[in-house]
Every structure is written in structure tokens, then in C-alpha cells.
Amino acid sequence: MPRRILVVDDNLVLADTLAKLLTLKGHKVDTTYGGEEAVARALTYPADVILLDIGMPRMNGYEAARRIREQQQEGLRLVALTGWGQEKDRRRSEEAGFDAHLVTPVDLEALDDLLAEWRGAND
């Protein structure tokens, strides 16, 4: 089952490349390039999953995740995308409201597995 996915990363090339790969897999994908934009777009794009970079200027992914969670969108899954993968980093992303934590560069097979796992939980 295709997912509606919002990809958020301040690196336009990375965001657009990941969005294209996900689109090729049959998902409906939108992109935005900053934390503030992600919070606003989460209100208007009915995403099932938001893939959110942590290390963005102005509003980082942790703050964006907290604000998106305040919007109380039922069933929305947040995935932290970051180069930081130590246990303290994973704990921090969980505390910010993320459902999963993937270290970049993203392992597409791991992302596919995660999306499939959630699809099974929601069907």
C-alpha cells in the first residue's frame, strides 16, 4: 500500500533524491526544506509518514517534531534522519516525539522494512 510521505531536509539534493526514490516505489511524496516549513506543511499535506532531518538551521528537526506532535495528527509517524546515531541521539529523538531514528545515508531497505511494518500495524 502506498504511503503519503513528507520528506524534510535542508539539503535540497538529498531531499529531492529521496523523494524521487520513494515515488518510484509507488509512494505519494512531497518535500520541504526546513523545520518551519515542515510544521506548516504538516497541517496541509495529509502525510502518513514524515522523514525529518535533525540538523537543520533556524528550526532543527527536534523542535519541528515537537511542534508537529502538538498538532495532534492521529496515525502520523515521524522518522528522524540524521548522521548522529549514538544511543543518546536515539533517546533524544524519541523524547522529541519521533517514532523511529535512521542514520544517514538512509538505508533504503531499512526504510522499506519500517514502512512495511507500519503498514501492517495500520491495516
Give the 3-state secondary structure of 64-104.
HHHHHHHCCCCCCEEEEEECCCCHHHHHHHHHHCCCEEEEC
What proportion of the chain, given as a percentage, has pLDDT over 70? 97
Give the pLDDT score at 119: 77
- Which pLDDT tens digit goes with each residue over 74-93? 899 999 999 989 999 999 99
Please determine, for residue 60, whether its predicted confidence score (pLDDT) is greater than 50: yes
Please determine, for residue 7, whether its predicted confidence score (pLDDT) is greater than 50: yes
Q: State how far the Cα of 67 lies from the Cα of 92, in Å rounded to an integer.
A: 15
Q: Which residues partner with 32 through β-bridges?
A: 8
End-to-end CA distance of the chain: 9
Please determine, for residue 4, whether its predicted confidence score (pLDDT) is greater than 70: yes
The domains of the chain, with CATH numbers, are: 4-122 (3.40.50.2300)
Q: What residue type is 77 in one-letter code?
A: R
Are 65 and 97 in contact by the 8 Å Cβ rule? The answer is: yes
CB-based burial label for 120 (10 Å; 0-12, 13-18, 19+): exposed
Give the pLDDT score at 120: 59
Q: Indicate the pTM of the whole model.
A: 0.94
Please determine, for residue 123, whether its predicted confidence score (pLDDT) is greater than 60: no
- Which pLDDT tens digit goes with each residue over 92-108? 999 999 999 999 999 99
Please determine, for residue 29, whether its predicted confidence score (pLDDT) is greater than 80: yes
